[in-house]
Amino acid sequence: MSAEVVIETRSLTKVYRDFWGRRKVEALKALDLDVRRGEIFGLLGPNGSGKTTTIKLILGLLFPTNGEALVFGRPAGDVEKNARIGYLPEESYLYRFLNAEETLDFYARLFRLPRAVRRQRVYDLIEQVGLQRAKRRQLREYSKGMTRRIGLAQALINDPELLLLDEPTTGLDPIGIREMKDLILHLRDQGKTILMCSHRLDDVQDVCDRIAILHQGELKELGRVDSLLKVRDMTEIRATGLSEEAKEEIRQVIARHGAQLLSCDNPTATLEELFVKIIRESEEHPGRRVRGVA
């Protein structure tokens, strides 16, 4: 496994069985993907597509039926790797009668951080997620958005190399969503690797470098966001200083009219349009896999 690859799955498969051991559902089918160091990787798919199963397999909370998942070059079942991982689940299960400072101090103790380091880390994270004014309020008084913020701070308490974020903007208002996305980008700039799941396609489009789209447990698309969203059979030309007559012409006419060509490239669709298109094509042609440029 390359030193630049943080997460690698090879033919990763998970079959859930009923009480008598009979196959109930194949939640994940031979998943092959890699997450590279220092990137934000988005995992997309409708409900029941295998996203949560994938995360649980990576964390070692589930055992694969076939294939393997490697994290930092180690099998996902190796618990030692977890000291280098931060995890924000879709629903954070925190102690409701503790305040933000007590919560973060508790988790810092689990990682055996020295007292001085622990106090500074708690202070910095509370400021980073914007909970200074509510740091001494019990978590039972927190709104959903505030709970997401303290959940993210808890995921960062051990200064992890790898972050797994499940629906990180759930419950946040528009300002909070923008701040969360800016924070995720800032964490990537610090050198952290981030794998995130989200139903908000605009969030993924704004922050992710690459994405994988799952449907019914199968990988349907994998590649860079900017590459996947390009409309290949169309060309978009942006220019300034053109007359109405010149707008009807092509490149040579732009130069002849003395206008400045700002760009000439393929236009892009939105991630929502790409997502809906892939899911509909998958339903029409079960089993077919479409791969983009990784």
Q: How far apart are CA 43 and CA 25, in angstroms?
A: 20
Q: How far apart are CA 70 and CA 20, in angstroms?
A: 30
In a domain, 250, yes or no: no
Q: How far apart are CA 276 and CA 208, in angstroms?
A: 18
Tokens of 288: 């077919």
In contact, 204 and 39? CB cutoff 8 Å: no
Classify residue 223 by its DSSP letter. Answer: E
Q: How far apart are CA 157 and CA 125, in angstroms?
A: 8
**Angle subtended at Cα 225 by Cα 144 and Cα 15, rounded to the nearest 5 degrees:** 70
Tokens of 172: 């946040």
In a domain, 92, yes or no: yes
pLDDT one digit per residue (tens) for the chain, 294 residues: 445 999 999 999 999 988 787 788 889 999 999 999 999 999 998 888 889 899 999 999 999 999 999 999 999 999 889 899 999 998 888 999 999 999 999 999 999 999 999 999 999 999 999 899 999 999 999 988 889 999 999 999 999 999 999 888 887 888 788 888 889 999 999 999 999 988 778 888 889 999 999 999 999 999 998 888 887 776 677 777 767 776 666 677 777 778 776 676 666 777 877 887 888 788 887 776 655 545
In a domain, 253, yes or no: no
Q: Where are the alpha helices (DSSP H) in the chain?
A: 51-59, 100-110, 115-128, 144-155, 174-189, 201-207, 225-228, 251-256, 271-284
Domain boundaries, position 208: 5-234+264-284
What does the longest C-alpha to C-alpha distance in the chain come to? 77
In a domain, 171, yes or no: yes
Domain count within the chain: 1
In contact, 211 and 274? CB cutoff 8 Å: no
In a domain, 148, yes or no: yes
| Burial of residue 232, with CB atoms counted within 10 A of its CB: 0-12 exposed, 13-18 middle, 19 or more buried | exposed
CATH code of residue 164: 3.40.50.300
In contact, 135 and 166? CB cutoff 8 Å: no
Q: CB-hemisphere CA count at 13 Å for 101?
A: 9
Q: Where are the alpha helices (DSSP H) in 22-170?
A: 51-59, 100-110, 115-128, 144-155
Classify residue 82 by its DSSP letter. Answer: G
In contact, 218 and 29? CB cutoff 8 Å: yes
In a domain, 290, yes or no: no
In a domain, 46, yes or no: yes
Looking at residue 148, its amino acid is: R
In a domain, 114, yes or no: yes
